[in-house]
Structure 1
Amino acid sequence: MLTDAKPEQVDFLQKFFGSGNQILLDDVLNSSGAGHIRPWVQLLLKGVPTVLPRRMDRQTMLWYGICFTQRQLKKLGDDLMAFVGPTYANFKGSRDCLDPKDPLDQAVQQFTRGAVYKFTGDTGEIWKKLEMMRGVWEQCPTLVTREKRPLGRVLRDFYVTLRTGSRVQAEGYLEELRNYHTLEIFNVTFLKVQMLAEFREWHEILSLHNLPELLQIRRPLAVTKSLIYAIYHKDLAVFEQRGLPQEALEHFRGHVHPSYGGNLFNVHSGMRDAEVLKCFMMKAVSEERPEQRDEILTLAEVLPPADKRYLKSLAQLLSGQAETVLSDPLLRAETASEQGDFDLAFSCARQAQSSKRRCQILLRCAYELQSLDSEKEVIKAFYVLSPEEQKQLLSTRLVRTLWEDLIYSRMLDLLVNNKQYEEEDFSIFQDLLPTLETLGVNISRFEELRHYGLERWKDT
Structure 2
Amino acid sequence: MDISSDVAAFYRPPNEVDLAALSEESAGLVRTLAARLAAGKRTLLPAMAAGKTRWYGLAPDSREGRLLAEEVQAWLAPPVGNSAIRVGPGGDALDEAACRAAPDGVCLRIDVESTWRSEARTNVRSMLDVWQSAPERGMDVPRPVGRVLRDFFAALGARDRTAAQAAIDEIRTRSLLSAANVRFLRVHLIGTLGSPLEMRDDPDLKDIAKFRRPPAVTGHLARAADALFIAPRLSGDVATVVDWAKVAGVVEDEWPGLVSHPSQVDSVAAARCLALSESLAAEPRHAVCQALEAEWNADPVVAAVLARLPSVASTPAQATIAGLCQRGDFEAALDLAGGASLKDKDAVSVLHAAFNLGDAQSAARAVALVDGLDGAERHLLLDRAVERNLYQQLVDINAGQHVPRDWTDWLTGDWPDRPDVLSEWAAGWDRTSMLDEGWADGMVLALVDALAGDQRGRTRNGLPILVEWLCDPDGLLPGAVGPAVTVLDVMLEGDGGRSERRAGLRLAEEILRAGCAAGEFADIATALDQVLSALGSREADWLIESLDVLLFSTVPDEVPRRDLVAAAHSVAVQWFDRLTGTQTILLAKLFTAAGLDFPVPPSDPVSGEGRRRQHPFRRVGIYSLAESAAMRARQWIEEQWPGTNVTLAHDHVNSDRLEAMARNCDVVVVQTSHAKHAAVAALETAAGPGDKLLRVNGRGATSLVRGLLERAADAV
Partner of 1:301: 294
- 1:69 lines up with 2:67 in the alignment: yes
For 1:356-398, what per-residue CA distance to the aligned partner results, in whole angstroms no more than 9, with x for missing partners?
A: 4333211111112112232222233224322233223223222
Per-residue deviation at 1:231?
0.9
Match of 1:101 among 114, 120, 126: 114
Q: Which amino acid aligns with 1:405?
A: Q
Partner of 1:194: 188
SS state at 1:247 partner: coil
Per-residue deviation at 1:258?
1.9
SS state at 1:411 partner: coil
Partner of 2:248: 253
Structure 1 contact 155–416 (Cα < 8 Å) conserved: yes
SS state at 1:366 partner: helix
Q: Structure 2 CA distance, aligned partners of 1:153 and 1:216?
A: 29
Q: Which amino acid aligns with 2:228?
A: K
Structure 2 contact 259–270 (Cα < 8 Å) conserved: no
Alignment of 1:54-453 (within 5 A): 54=47, 66=58, 68-69=66-67, 101=114, 148-199=142-193, 201-242=195-236, 243-247=238-242, 249-261=244-256, 263-292=257-286, 295-299=288-292, 301-303=294-296, 306-307=298-299, 309-319=300-310, 321-330=311-320, 333-350=321-338, 352-411=340-399, 415=418, 417-418=420-421, 420=423
SS state at 1:149 partner: coil
SS state at 1:178 partner: helix
Per-residue deviation at 1:208?
0.8
Structure 2: any 5+ residue segments left out of the alignment? Answer: 1-9, 18-33, 60-65, 73-110, 130-135, 401-415, 429-454, 463-716
Partner of 1:449: none
Q: Which amino acid aligns with 2:267?
A: D
Structure 2 contact 112–120 (Cα < 8 Å) conserved: no
Structure 2 contact 289–306 (Cα < 8 Å) conserved: no
Q: Structure 2 CA distance, aligned partners of 1:211 and 1:286?
A: 24
Partner of 1:8: none
| TM-score between both structures, scaled by the size of structure 2 | 0.40
Per-residue deviation at 1:53?
6.5
Structure 2 contact 15–48 (Cα < 8 Å) conserved: yes
Per-residue deviation at 1:325?
3.5
SS state at 1:236 partner: helix
Structure 2 contact 46–55 (Cα < 8 Å) conserved: yes
Structure 1 contact 21–54 (Cα < 8 Å) conserved: yes
Percent identity among equivalent residues? 21
Partner of 1:441: none
Q: Which amino acid aligns with 1:231?
A: A
Specify whether residues 18 and 348 from structure 1 end up closer, same or farther in structure 2 by C-alpha distance, changes over 3 A only: farther
Q: Which amino acid aligns with 2:306?
A: A
Per-residue deviation at 1:66?
3.8
Per-residue deviation at 1:190?
1.1
SS state at 1:388 partner: helix
For 1:62-120, what per-residue CA distance to the aligned partner results, in whole angstroms no more than 9, with x for missing partners?
A: 9966455369989xxxxxxxxxxxxxxxxxxxxxxx975268999999xx9999669xx
Structure 1 contact 297–312 (Cα < 8 Å) conserved: no
Structure 1 contact 64–116 (Cα < 8 Å) conserved: no
Q: Which amino acid aligns with 2:348?
A: Q
For 1:126-182, what per-residue CA distance to the aligned partner results, in whole angstroms no more than 9, with x for missing partners?
A: xxxxxxxxxxxxxxxx99999842221121122233345444443343343333222
For 1:401-433, what per-residue CA distance to the aligned partner results, in whole angstroms no more than 9, with x for missing partners?
A: 21112212331898263361559x9xxxxxxxx
Q: Structure 2 CA distance, aligned partners of 1:329 and 1:344?
A: 9
Specify whether residues 350 and 18 from structure 1 end up closer, same or farther in structure 2 by C-alpha distance, changes over 3 A only: farther
Structure 2 contact 344–381 (Cα < 8 Å) conserved: yes
Specify whether residues 244 and 103 from structure 1 end up closer, same or farther in structure 2 by C-alpha distance, changes over 3 A only: farther
Q: Structure 1 CA distance, aligned partners of 2:54 and 2:240?
A: 64
Q: Structure 1 CA distance, aligned partners of 2:206 and 2:309?
A: 30
Q: Structure 2 CA distance, aligned partners of 1:235 and 1:113?
A: 52
Structure 1 contact 72–146 (Cα < 8 Å) conserved: no
Per-residue deviation at 1:329?
3.0
Specify whether residues 191 and 252 from structure 1 end up closer, same or farther in structure 2 by C-alpha distance, changes over 3 A only: same
For 1:311-338, what per-residue CA distance to the aligned partner results, in whole angstroms no more than 9, with x for missing partners?
A: 222201123x3235433332xx312323
Q: Structure 1 CA distance, aligned partners of 2:319 and 2:259?
A: 24
Q: Structure 1 CA distance, aligned partners of 2:264 and 2:49?
A: 63
SS state at 1:398 partner: helix
Q: Which amino acid aligns with 2:352?
A: R
Structure 2 contact 359–424 (Cα < 8 Å) conserved: no
Structure 1 contact 249–286 (Cα < 8 Å) conserved: no
Q: Structure 2 CA distance, aligned partners of 1:108 and 1:315?
A: 68
For 1:13-71, what per-residue CA distance to the aligned partner results, in whole angstroms no more than 9, with x for missing partners?
A: xxx99998349xxxxxxxxxxxxxxxx9xx9xxx98356574789xxx99966455369
Partner of 1:36: none
Per-residue deviation at 1:345?
3.6
Higher relative contact order (CA 8 A, sep 6+): 1
For 1:274-328, what per-residue CA distance to the aligned partner results, in whole angstroms no more than 9, with x for missing partners?
A: 2112111112123243334x5244245345x742x54222201123x32354333
Specify whether residues 265 and 17 from structure 1 end up closer, same or farther in structure 2 by C-alpha distance, changes over 3 A only: farther
Structure 1: any 5+ residue segments left out of the alignment? Answer: 1-15, 24-39, 75-97, 119-141, 426-452
Q: Which amino acid aligns with 1:257?
A: E
Structure 1 contact 49–72 (Cα < 8 Å) conserved: no
Specify whether residues 151 and 17 from structure 1 end up closer, same or farther in structure 2 by C-alpha distance, changes over 3 A only: farther
